[in-house]
Structure 1
Amino acid sequence: MPGPGEIQPDVKLRAVQLIEALGSWPPGGSGAAAAGARVAALGGVDTALVSQAGPLLPTADQAALQVIDAQYGGILADSASVLVVCDQWTAASPTGPVTAGGTTVDVRLSAAAPRWTVTALHPAAPGAAAGSLSAAASSVLADSRIELPPAALADVRSGSVHDSVLQAMLTLARTYSMSVSVVRSGHPLDVFGTTRPSDHPLGRAFDVWRINGRTVVDPTTPQDLVDGFMRAAAAAGSYNVGGPRQLSGGTTPNQFFTDDTHHDHVHVGFNS
């Protein structure tokens, strides 16, 4: 549920409700037709979006989905991207074993009344696990202070994340515990509202939504905690650190930035 610190809270709620409806069903409730009925029950959502659900609709007798976080991939006056990060558990039969999974979905919306309209779904596509990984990737996967959701975990296992990102995670984890929302997959290809490529799909960025157990978006989270994390990210080599406040200083004039999109997470980007 959106908290008091959210910008346009119902935009996030709309996205989350759709992902929950698509990715959870009782025994015998699998398939596109049943998913369409769940979506129709929400009201005001196009059931054709079922065809874009991808990994949210595996072949399974039943499924349960839990949203880990919903953060903005972009928010403008008339359009938005909400990145819905989730765990999902499925069972192939009523008495069969439970399989853990999950994904991140870039949910696109446009402004409308009384509620914003979902226009498209872009599920993460992390790629297959690599045969071998760098020492940095292996260390990140073993570090209990770096919490990776399913799609981000698959990104690291795929070997497609630059060591600059991984080394920064390890450096930050010496001081902070952090919950990562997005690394490479599940993020818009371009910086939202522009034609400028994002560093995320290139494997050169990661976003953090929770630091030392405190969410970035919560107004009660100490500002010094988030600001200190941002400065530590810059010291770890990031050329582009975004967050809920504009920080002074930096090695370049634009090393720190803020906007509505980044009020709910810290973005840590690298140029190589």
Structure 2
Amino acid sequence: MNDRYAMSRRAVLLGVAAVATSCSSSGGRSATSTPTSGTPAATTAPTGPAPPSGGTPATTTPSALPTVTAWAPDPGDVQPQVKQRAVTLVSALGAWPPGGQGPEAARARLAAQGFDPGLADRAGSLSSPAPEAVLEVVDAQYGGILDDTASVLVVCRRWTRAEDGTVTADGSTVDVRLSRATPVWTVTTLYPSDPGPAAASLSAQASRILADSRIILPPAATADVRAGAVHASVLTALETLAADHTIDVSVLRSGHPINVFGTNRPSDHPRGRAVDVWRIDGRSVVDPTTPRALVEGFMRAGAAAGSYNVGGPYQLSGAAFFSDPTHRDHVHLGFTT
């Protein structure tokens, strides 16, 4: 997420077979190609084609769709029911049983979950003509959480199967906006990520980032790097931090609100000058059992790597550091150049 007023993860997901479970936008729309958490449950790992690292979706010969697991909030989450509502919406839009493709079927799934069916018209990258799809939520992170409004960034991987059985892997990050209501918060709109096309050529540094097994990027963040949309200051910091840690990134540029949530101040993310990390060395930032020393040490290492604006669950001494409810579930590193 970004900057000082922005507000608060996790992994795993559901196909719409499981969808039967279950934003007044104060921060502006989310970043797309034009600037405008928790720990996964210990279950069967998805099989089938790996999600793409950006550019053209990965496709394989006919095979079964992977098995994925329903996402669940972490005990340390702020307002966990708000995250759950956002995840349920994205799952209903991005995954469906055989024959469940198309806008009318999507509207029906939303209505069955108590959402405005018209939200299906904003599905963007979540839609597909494929007759079957499953979706995995890598992380659900706050883009902002205030008293009456919220932004939840739902980080996804997805697999779709065509009529001939060919499975294609893709993914996105969806900025879901909600407003407080009873008995559940209301989803007011959503902004699926749109990182844009891959650059004609990549810098050596970007290529190293994409190849580094200690820097784990979800599909939208990978596409940001492939598009050349991430500043060298961020890439350099990631390389520096990965020398000592395994880093699970949630958001780089696309899918993040354009403004710091609840303000008119531009976020560093849409300008390609920030990174959010939801898991460090396999330990999610929001998990109460994650050692505080690990998170604090990572925050200080981020500042030493050049970040002028380090947010996280703990308030550290020093002008570079801040903490608020939004950053309970991740570490934010912002850069000036």
TM-score for the superposition, normalised by structure 1: 0.97
**Please, which moves more after superposition, 167-176 or 130-139?**
130-139
2:112 is the counterpart of 1:41: yes
Asked if residue 259 in structure 1 is aligned to residue 328 in structure 2, the reply is: no
2:44 maps to none
Matched residue, 1:60: 130
C-alpha displacement at 1:133, in angstroms?
A: 1.3
Structure 2: which amino acid aligns with 1:114? P
Shift of 1:16: 0.2
The AA in structure 2 aligned to 1:68 is V
Kindly tell me the number of residue pairs found equivalent between the two proteins: 266
Separation of aligned partners in 1, 2:94 and 2:234: 30
State yes or no: 1:131 paired with 2:200: yes
Query: What does residue 179 of structure 2 align with?
Result: 110
The alpha-carbon deviation at position 28 of structure 1 amounts to 1.1
The structure whose residues are more often strand, as a share, is 1
Q: Deviations over 1:100-130 (max 9, x none)?
A: 0010000000000011000000011101000
Task: Name the SS for the 1:15 alignment partner.
Answer: helix
User: Equivalent of 1:85, from 132, 155, 171?
Assistant: 155
Among the aligned pairs, what percent are the same residue?
A: 67
* Residue 141 (structure 2) aligned to one of 71, 96, 105: 71
Map 1:241-252 → 2, pairs under 5 A: 241-249=310-318
Shift of 1:242: 0.2
Give the match for residue 237 of structure 2: 168
| Structure 1 residues 34-86: Cα deviation after superposition (integer angstroms, max 9, x where no partner) | 0011111112x111000001010111111110100000000000000000000
SS in structure 2 at match of 1:18: helix
1:123-165 deviation line (CA, Å, top 9, x unaligned): 1110100011112111100100000000000000000110000
AA of the residue aligned to 2:75? P
RMSD: 0.6
Segment of structure 1 superposing worse, 53-62 or 205-214: 53-62
* TM-score, normalised with respect to structure 2: 0.78
**SS of residue matched to 1:67:** strand
Q: Which structure would you say has the larger RCO, counting Cα contacts within 8 Å and 6 or more residues apart?
A: 2
Structure 1 alignment gaps of length 5 or more: none
Structure with more helix by fraction: 1
Compute the displacement of 1:91 (Å).
Answer: 1.2
Residue type at the aligned position of 2:210 = L
Match of 1:208 in 2: 277
Runs in 1 of length 4+ with deviation above 2 angstroms?
none
Partner of 1:181: 250
